[in-house]
A and B are shown apart, each in its own frame.
Chain A
Amino acid sequence: MKIVVPFKSVPDPYAGAGEAAKSVINPFDEIAIEEALRIRERGEASEIVGVTIGPPAVDEQIRSALAMGVDRALRIDDARALDPYAIARILRALIEKETPQVVLMGKQAIDDDSNQVGQMLAGLLGWPQATFVSKIELIENKTRLQCSRETDGGIEVIAITLPAIVTTDLRLNEPRYVSLPGLMKARKKPIEVFTCEQLGVSVAPLTTTLSTSRPPKRSGGTRVESVEELMVKLKQEAKVL
């Protein structure tokens, strides 16, 4: 069984305020890579292909994916500000070429916070989907997946027929650390680079960010010294009690 893991390079969410954040693999995609590795380590998958769409600068995150243990890594060279639907259409072309049984990916890129690509890809391919997944099991002789999903109402369990798209939630697993020797070894592995033309797709984003701004800052706080003082403030000043 082959698994394709699309991943995105994003600013490090743990960078301190004001610090210039270095790029990392989107945390949800790292969880997707980890899960693919575990499935392979259980002997249930034979090949894991990582794919990212971006400019040469993202090769560093591709190295991290290779160091974690993906078998092959592809980059679709595109430096444009693409939207989720454009990404989904490019990924569809790639998936049709690679013909995996499972596509494992993040539920959300933590920079654009869109939470769209996986579901769009599933729609384009006409494949079943399991989103926000916190547990995966291959069942029925590897023809279906049983997935637990984190929904607003609690955990939901569904079964989906392969080939299918799965998007990860935070509690699916804890990704392994990449060792330095692993990273060194990954430097020697090839990265396959394609253009959209080579894949036979021509897409343009349909959404454009016109401007960005900082949200109004919440001005903080009065310190209170005791529970009594807090109660007085909540009753008399805030009038919420």
Chain B
Amino acid sequence: MAETLVLIELDRQQVKRPSLHAIALARELGGEYALLILGSGLDEIAASLVAYGASAVVVADDPALAEPLADRYASVVADVARQRNVKTLLGTSSTFSKDILPRVAALLDAPMVTDVLALEKVDGANAYRRPINAGSMLATVKVDGDLRVLTARATAFEAPTADAAPPCPVESFKLDGAGLPDGMQFISREERISDRPDLTEARVVVSGGRPLKDPETFERLIGGLADALGGAVGATRAAVDAGMAPNDYQVGQTGKVVAPELYIAIGISGAIQHLAGIKDSRIIVAINKDPDAPIFQMATYGLVGDLHQIVPQLIEAIRQG
């Protein structure tokens, strides 16, 4: 039986919601699919995954897997894939899966396709549509061989609904933690507590660019507007490079891809690398003092003017209701 294995990502002992979107692609591929989680102390998390229509939730639970170190994680994922005779190994595009899955592909001697947007049929065989050149082109790619690794763009696939089907079994994958590769060691992770929604899951995203000048102005205007709307905060590369916002706020070709209901771009010119990350937003609002800024060519609504005047007015108007 052709089986698909979907790698589910955890973040601080919680399922990362966007990583569930790959399940939609697994369903489209047809056949059975199992979910795989790696970590330490996973009983509750495993139990929360049994209703997604999978044939099993496979759990690799070991203190040696407490942190997502690529050498160990890849070795375990490859072992699970081999043991289950998996034909397609799937993940959702994220720094987690981009770190681990290409390494797994090499261990399995399999090719990989990154950022799948859609499944296509070409002459009856599966092919995968994906963006190239900062999303300015779409390529349709076919894969040879019996085994392939894919990552799905979360914004291109729906979040799966929990199935009405009876819960699937949880299977524990036996592993020898002490025998795992140990050339990589976790030292620390930046802890940032934020009440704002996750950038990739938010209904509203407010992003700022270069003219926001410093972290204080950025936070007051971009953060302030995001809070008034209950949204998340994003930034351009220019804003991140200048230290106005942390790296994980970067939206675009080499940052995060978002597709909220409402994206508000403030002081952003609209470089192709930035647009690559926002194209699929339902409504885009641009606020820019240059009437010829390229962002206006793709914004649903454009307002020409100085952000320092407009943004406080907008925050006020939203607060008024």
Contact = CB atoms under 8 A, between A and B. Distances in A.
A171 B248 CA distance: 12
Interface of B is mostly: mixed
A78 interface: no
A118 to B, nearest CB: 8
Interface in A134-164: 134, 146, 149-161, 164
B298 interface: yes
Contacts of B273: 13
Contact of A132 (B95, B200, B301): B95
Interface in A202-224: 205-215, 218, 220-224
A218 B298 contact: yes
B106 A230 contact: no
A161 B145 CA distance: 34
Contact of B187 (A114, A159, A224): A159
A157 B190 CA distance: 8
B137 A215 contact: yes
By secondary structure, the A interface counts as mixed
Interface residues on B, range: 35 or more
B94 A116 contact: no
A110 B102 contact: no
A184 to B, nearest CB: 31
Interface string B52-96: 000000000000000001110010000000000000000000111
B193 to A, nearest CB: 11
Contacts, number: 252
Given A207-B113, A221-B296, A123 B301 contact: no
A101 interface: no
Contact of A207 (B71, B143, B187, B261): B143
A231 interface: yes
Interface stretch (B40-48, B171-179, B310-318): B310-318
B303 A240 contact: no
Given A156-B189, A158-B186, A220 B96 contact: no
Of B102, B138, B186, B299, the most chain A CB neighbours within 10 A belong to B102
A85 interface: yes
Contact of B283 (A84, A151, A154, A240): A240
B304 interface: yes
A170 B254 contact: yes
A9 interface: no
A85 B296 contact: no
Interface string A1-31: 0000000000101000100000000001000
Nearest to A240: B262
B122 interface: yes
A123 B102 contact: yes
B217 interface: no
Contacts of B279: 215, 218
A113 B192 CA distance: 29
A124 interface: yes
A72 interface: no
A44 interface: no
A155 B297 contact: no
Contacts of B303: 223-227, 230
A52 interface: no
Contacts of A64: none
Contacts of B300: 220-222, 238
Closest 5 CB pairs of A and B: A123-B106, A128-B183, A206-B111, A119-B102, A154-B190
Interface of A: 11, 13, 17, 28, 83-85, 88, 107-108, 110-124, 126-132, 134, 146, 149-161, 164, 169-171, 205-215, 218, 220-228, 230-231, 233-234, 238, 240-241
Given A157-B187, A208-B141, 7 more contacts: A88-B106, A132-B98, A150-B95, A155-B190, A210-B140, A221-B302, A227-B314
